[in-house]
A and B are shown apart, each in its own frame.
Chain A
Amino acid sequence: MARRVNLAHLYNPQILEKDELTENFVVRLDIFKRLYQEISTVGMKYPEQHYVIQGNQGTGKTTLLLRLSYAVENDPSLRDWLVPIVFNEEEYGIRRLYKLWLRLAELLGEKQECFRNLGEVMKELSQQFPEDDEFERAAFKLLSDSLHREQKKIILFIDNFGDMLSKFNKDEAHRLRKILQTSADLRIFAASSRTIEAFHDYKHPFYEFFKIEYLKGLNHEQTEELLLKLGERYQLKDFTSTLQQQRGRIEVMRRLTGGVIRQMVILFEVLVKEKNTDAFELLECLLDRSTPLYKNRMDKLPPQQQEIVEAIAHRWDAVSVKEISERTRMGSKIISAQLNQLVKSEVVFKIHTTTKNHLYRIKDRFFNIWYLVRLARNGSIGRVQRLVNFLDYWCSRPAVGPDSDSTAPASADYFNQYLPQLADSDTALSQVLPQLCPEIMGLMAQQQYPPLLAFFNAQDAQGRSIADQLKPLYYALMQERKEEFPNEYLRMGEELESTVEEILVQVQSQQARRA
């Protein structure tokens, strides 16, 4: 009998039982093995390499840290001398370095009998040292002496490490770096959902100090593997055939969400419940599940930043300060100042161009889509719908052979015939794509750019930009012509990258055939 699909732990892998988490850990095996080997093959004779795992929310950082900690606990060759300590995401109270040692002493005491009183002894020590920095030194010495006495070492798994580190002052950062560089008693494996600025700040003690492992989104194969293994785990008999039928749509969702594991697990849940859902309905299910997170993100922004984020999100592709100013009527100085904050908090991503005017886009691309579908007006849903339709066509199309090379005439007028159809309805695009898409790629292969540029610059009868309706093809053209338009292709969002790459590969193979 099929097991009930329960994904309540999605945001809190800590609540999963050890065995359940281990059993559910079916992707990211490569990085797990690599890091585990790194832990298990060194005896920590010298101060060891410290790691930070960086990835967007939902990419599996917390789960990976927990999986590593359980692996250490279960390894007979490690557990006698190496104590894994997990600091969960909610350790907000650690604002000073001495508090890190206090909390560590408490957790160590909970974990191992021989350290049961360590936390209390450390607290008593604080009476002797009224100055924080003196107490911190004494506390670390006590911790270090206790570890030596018991012949143990610690491996610390710290989530949201960037937040913790940003609370320490510079003297504390110097002190922590010195400890990590000179003490072989402890080792850190941390995680962070944002880039930790200090690691790239030449003047900061932690400049390039940690080795960073990036958790990227799942690729096509990894996504299928995840879904298959989830199907097996929940003993769903006909899930393989669902997977076969929905292969193209699954790939569309993967591209739009960036392959974030959390979204792919939600996708699994939706696929189990709704077997015959179309691509846009699938997207809406994923967006609904993300609403609390994204709404909170938007609500937390100060009003001016909200307005700027809305302006950028509305445009979808990257925009300049001038373009934001036109939409918001805010002065460019104010916008630049707020953008600096938004870039720092990683809501917005800054793209350097070849001019002084840089471009800005929403960093979390799925958040941008959520905004367009759930908050924006004026036909924004339709714009997303058309991209979904394009991707649905692209990811589900049969393999293209040499015979399908297009022979469309190189004339701007020829393409104008499509304008009424494109204006007709959002779904009309799906009907014209099997003919239009190969024709555009065919002309690109022949390097007949002027009619294509004219077509993309046109608008349909409802005043909608053709470039916006056929984004992947437009950006493939811009990429191809980047000598002529050096900054236009930089506007492209990451959700289009792989599709654009595939279009260009196909164009190049057509060119090779013609040659």
Chain B
Amino acid sequence: MRNIVGQTPRGTDFFKRSAIIKKIYRRLEAGNHIFLSAPRRAGKTSIMRFLEDNPQEGYAFIYINTEDVDDLEDFFRLLSEELLDSEAAKKMTQLVESSKGLFAAFTEKITKIKLWDLEVQLKQGEPSTYKDEFQDLLKKLNTRKFTIVIMLDEFPVTLEKIHKKHGEYQAVHFLHCNRALRQEANQGIQFIYTGSIGLASIASKLNATAALNDLNVLEIPPLSTAEARRFTARLLKAYNVKFEDGSIDYLLSKLQWLMPFFIQLVVQVLIDEYETRRKTIDQKFIDQAIEKSSTHRNHLYFVNYYTRLEKSLPPEEAKVAKKILLEIANKTEVPLDAFEEHPHSRRILEMLILDGYINNNQNAYRFNSPILRDWWKKYGKD
């Protein structure tokens, strides 16, 4: 198992998160369309890739990244091509005789749309659209024998791009088309949407939250302590790093916020330090590595938490956000009603939770990461 950063870990590099995977299947079995919600680098894509690579009996998953799409028709073109090219389609044609004809007809129609686009001189009458053909196919496919799950990664980026390029009306239309697609598709066709920016907040700005209310929101939680223990041990062993008994638990107690990416960052520092010092990892070693990660390389990482507030929020709100964070950092925990007098505090707090700064578990606001909290206490002054 390699310490993969940024790229999606696949195969033996993926650390299986059984609890969340079971949860996804349970929601799918109940007939839900899902929105996977988590901050960036929480492992959304790798979980989807795992589902695609290792489907349970009776399921086929199609992973589609839509982040380079900025147009409704282009979105459905991508979905059509990916579906035709997928293992799910192959599996279906093997299992369900009638689907062969459906896919063949669909291929023909798609080819016609492509040719219509390319060969201007042949244009006669109104062309069909990828959207209509795709919707039509999903209505007709017989999915009694298994479920096809279409997983759309970076969907909010596409929505933002359509908004930027074609305006508000088209963006809202795009959301409604997707809703219609979900509602009109056959029962065995389900969707998982996800993305690294908040879909709900974009929809809210567009006054179109109703177009999402059929989606079942599933949060990807941090690893449990047991999972984090196994994950850390596997990473360290893969790089032949020696560690004392109990040192991993000590590390996890220091980190508290057990997001895989956050663990990976610190583990990478441990691996690098181990390679330089060749000394078995113990508590002192961990203290030094954490001190190092908050003062050197990851200093930048923490500074970014600070500066990105200015990029994400209007100046006045960024100021309020900084005030709120400094107060939480100084007091360690702050009651949920403490910031009500601040203007826009609800929206700001939602954003701080979604982007991974703080949580509101146990009826109080706290920093997710005590390392970030310490940094904030020291350097988070405006």
- Interface residues of chain A, those whose CB is within 8 Å of chain B, are 30, 38, 45-50, 171, 174-175, 177-178, 180-182, 195, 200-203, 205, 207-212, 214, 352-356
Contacts and interface: CB of A to CB of B under 8 A. Distances in A.
Nearest to A202: B308
A438 B381 CA distance: 40
Consensus secondary structure, chain A interface:
loop
A49 B6 contact: yes
Interface string B362-382: 000000000000000011011
A178 B7 contact: no
A211 B301 contact: no
B132 interface: no
Contact of B312 (A38, A49, A203, A353): A203
Contact of A171 (B65, B68, B261, B355): B68
Contacts of A180: 7
B40 A175 contact: no
- Return the 5 tightest CB-CB contacts between A and B, nearest first: A209-B6, A46-B10, A175-B68, A352-B379, A211-B5
Given A181-B7, A200-B300, A210-B6, A356 B382 contact: yes
B45 A181 contact: yes
A208 B6 contact: yes
17 contacts: A30-B275, A46-B11, A50-B7, A174-B67, A178-B68, A178-B154, A181-B7, A201-B304, A201-B308, A201-B311, A202-B355, A203-B197, A208-B6, A210-B6, A211-B5, A214-B297, A352-B378
Nearest to B158: A174
B7 A355 contact: no
Nearest to B70: A171
Contact of B304 (A38, A202, A212): A202
**Among A202, A205, A353, A356: residue with most chain B CB under 10 A:** A202
B78 to A, nearest CB: 10
B364 to A, nearest CB: 25
B323 to A, nearest CB: 14
A356 B275 contact: no
A208 B40 contact: yes
Contact of B378 (A171, A200, A354): A354
A433 B250 CA distance: 44
B312 A211 contact: no
B308 A49 contact: no
B7 A47 contact: yes
B26 interface: no
Interface of B: 2-8, 10-11, 40-41, 45, 65, 67-68, 70, 154, 157, 161, 196-197, 261, 275, 297, 300-301, 303-305, 308, 311-312, 355, 378-379, 381-382
**Among A50, A174, A177, A195: residue with most chain B CB under 10 A:** A174
Contacts of B4: 49, 211
A38 B238 CA distance: 13
A9 to B, nearest CB: 29
A208 B41 CA distance: 8
A49 B7 CA distance: 5
A181 B65 contact: yes
B146 to A, nearest CB: 24
B2 A174 contact: no
A453 B118 CA distance: 80
Contacts of A214: 297
A134 to B, nearest CB: 10
Contacts of B355: 202
Contact of A203 (B6, B11, B308, B382): B308
Contacts of B381: 354-356
A354 B379 contact: yes
Contacts of A355: 381
A449 B376 CA distance: 31
Nearest to A205: B67
A175 B158 CA distance: 11
B20 to A, nearest CB: 20
A208 B157 CA distance: 17
B11 A200 contact: no
Contacts of A352: 303, 378-379
Given A178-B68, A208-B41, 11 more contacts: A49-B5, A50-B7, A174-B154, A177-B67, A178-B67, A181-B8, A200-B301, A209-B7, A211-B5, A214-B297, A354-B378
A182 B154 CA distance: 13
A50 B5 CA distance: 9
A446 B261 CA distance: 45
A47 B8 contact: yes
Nearest to A48: B7
A174 B68 contact: yes
Contacts of A171: 68, 70, 161
A427 to B, nearest CB: 36
Contacts of A203: 197, 308, 311-312
A214 B298 CA distance: 12
Contacts of B5: 49, 208, 210-212
